[in-house]
């Protein structure tokens, strides 16, 4: 492989072990009232979390600019701690609403929480050379399904991610992807626990 700047060779991606939870600060979902695009964010007025894992326990607000629907979520209190949300799958981890950013791809469903999440996936999928700088058990990229990592699906997945980016700029109920419908297909994991000493 040439080191000549005029021929840089394949694009490179370096995986620093980013957790999926880092993308839960802003989640685009299907509004429960009108079916348009709604937004799930930490409830206004809360201090910034000290640790990114606290995002799973922060009170949330769902708001739809289209119809004015608003809903609030708080973590369940159980024993001496809180039971937080569990990210992953085609529903948002707080209100369990279908994600707005979903599309059919390679015979499966490709999804993301928001534009930043789409960008992170695009950088990884589009890279010809991938380096893992850490080996975290919960790193988002290392846990992606094999079909998304496969070179044979690269162009199809990149096209799907481009569709998600376009969808992020749309908000009307008629703009909703046919993949973003109600499904109970998200794994029902036990919730994370948060005690005074921190999340476990």
Q: Are 199 and 192 in contact (CB under 8 A)?
A: yes
- Contact indicator for 9, 2 with CB cutoff of 8 Å: yes
CB 37 within 8 A of CB 164: no
Prediction pTM value? 0.81
Report d(CA 102, CA 168) in Å as an integer. 10
Q: Is the pLDDT of residue 74 over 70?
A: yes
What pLDDT does residue 187 have?
39
Q: What is the mean pLDDT of residues 101-120?
A: 96
Of the candidates 112, 137, 138, 107, the one whose C-alpha atom is nearest the C-alpha of residue 123 is 112
30-45 pLDDT per residue, tens: 999 999 999 999 999 9
Q: What is the pLDDT of residue 193?
A: 44
Mean pLDDT of the chain: 82
Q: Which of 32, 33, 169, 24 shows the shortest CA–CA distance to 101?
A: 169
Greatest mean pLDDT among 22-26, 122-126, 162-166, 196-200 lies in 162-166
pLDDT in tens, 141-162: 778 899 998 989 999 999 999 9
Q: How far apart are CA 85 and CA 3, in angstroms?
A: 46
Name, in order, each residue with C-beta under 8 angstroms of 137's C-beta and a sequence gap of 6 or more.
none
**Helix, strand, or coil (residue 13):** strand
% of the chain residues with pLDDT over 70: 78
The CA-atom distances, in angstroms, between 165 and each of 3, 117, 130, 157, 169 are 33, 10, 23, 12, 7
**pLDDT value of position 88:** 92
Cα–Cα dist 177/122, whole Å: 19
């Amino acid at each position: 492989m040439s080191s000549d700047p005029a021929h840089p060779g394949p694009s490179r991606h370096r995986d620093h072990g980013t957790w999926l939870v880092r993308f839960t600060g802003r989640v685009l979902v299907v509004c429960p009232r009108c079916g348009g695009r709604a937004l799930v964010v930490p409830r206004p007025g809360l201090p910034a979390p000290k640790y990114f894992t606290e995002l799973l326990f922060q009170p949330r607000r769902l708001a739809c600019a289209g119809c004015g629907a608003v809903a609030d979520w708080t973590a369940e209190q159980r024993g001496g701690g809180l039971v937080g949300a569990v990210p992953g799958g085609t529903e948002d981890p707080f209100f369990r609403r279908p994600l707005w950013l979903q599309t059919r791809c390679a015979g499966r469903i490709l999804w993301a929480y928001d534009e930043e999440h789409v960008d992170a996936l695009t950088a990884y999928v589009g890279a010809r050379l991938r380096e893992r700088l850490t080996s975290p058990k919960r790193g988002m990229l290392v846990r992606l399904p094999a079909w998304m990592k496969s070179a044979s699906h690269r162009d199809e997945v990149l096209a799907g991610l481009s569709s998600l980016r376009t969808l992020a700029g749309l908000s009307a109920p008629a703009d909703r992807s046919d993949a973003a419908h109600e499904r109970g297909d998200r794994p029902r994991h036990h919730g994370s626990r948060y005690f005074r000493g921190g999340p476990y």
